[in-house]
Amino acid sequence: MSGPILLALRIMMALLLYAFLGMALYSMWRDTSYQVRLLKARLAPPLNLLHHNQAESIKYRFTTPEVIIGRDPACDCSLDDQTVSAQHTRLSFRQGHWWVEDLHSTNGTFVNQQPVSAPLVIIHGDQLRCGQAVFTVSIEDTYGSGV
């Protein structure tokens, strides 16, 4: 074969190799970004609870997928309130929503003044009451920004 034909074939082979590598890298990037989006969708959006008591309002912020409210110091949200049981209420993020569940408390758990007898979805703006402790629920739409 002549020199110019061999040179053209080598250039074409190099271009095909670079095109193949480019497509492989693009495919890996696309799959990785898709996986990241799926993982972000599973993350619990931050939950804010604004506790209203006689003296002041206290804001609690939680980024974990499960929060236990109670009088026990080991609880995620520990309250010094005799109307609250040691482990009163569980808030958990599953199936894309925040859920509230009463943990067989003495004085009950209420959402918008309705008793919680089974796990219940809570949304931004709901009022949560554990015993006599009242909270306003605020769910952030994404990490770092509020609703």
Instruction: Categorize the per-residue pLDDT at 56 as very low, low, confident or very high, splitting at 50, 70 and 90.
Output: confident
Q: Which long-range contacts (CB under 8 A, 24 or more apart) does 121-126 make?
A: 121/97, 122/91, 122/97, 122/98, 123/98
Average pLDDT, the chain: 90
CA 102 – CA 119 distance, rounded (Å): 7
**Range ranked top by mean pLDDT from 5-14, 43-52, 54-63:** 5-14
67, 90 contact by CB (below 8 A) = yes
- pLDDT above 80 (res 77): yes
pLDDT for 36: 78
- pLDDT above 60 (res 4): yes
pLDDT one-digit tens code per residue, 15-26: 999 999 999 999
pLDDT for 50: 95
pLDDT for 142: 63
Is the Cα torsion angle 108, 116, 77, 75 positive or negative in sign?
A: positive
pLDDT one-digit tens code per residue, 82-113: 999 999 999 999 888 999 999 999 999 999 99
pLDDT for 145: 45
pLDDT for 95: 85
